[in-house]
Amino acid sequence: MPKRRLEGAYHEVTRFDSVRESVAAYFHNINTHSAYHGLRLLRQEKTARREPFSGHELAGKLTSYSERGAPYIEELRSIMRSNQLESDLLAQRAEAENMVLSLDTENTEGEESPKVEN
């Protein structure tokens, strides 16, 4: 329960068996709840234009995640900086893109490319 909870305010807290479950629930929430439509739209637009985007940029769309609003966003960005999460994210994204590109170029001459169905 938050220490400075407003009188009459209600907060739900979910307990998870692992960090993995917690992160999965967080991403499910971000990817499905209407409050985060702006984040998903920004991510979709940037991806469609093949423009880079960052966790720092996406975090700006999480003002509805906490009643603290902008101070929450700044704290989140500070945590990302101090834990070097942005550079890790960029490295992981580059690695994933390279893996996809290498899959496209690994076919030997004369072999048909594998079909990918969505």
- pLDDT tens, the chain, 118 aa long: 566 777 777 777 889 999 889 988 988 998 899 999 999 999 899 888 988 888 889 999 998 888 889 999 999 999 988 888 776 555 666 666 666 555 555 444 455 544 444 4
Dihedral sign of CA atoms 18, 22, 27, 32 in order: positive
Q: 57 near 63, Cβ under 8 Å?
A: no
Q: What is the distance of C-alpha 23 from the center of its chain? A: 10
Where exactly are the structural domains of the chain?
Answer: 19-102
User: What pTM does this model have?
Assistant: 0.61
The whole-angstrom separation of Cα 54 and Cα 89 is 8
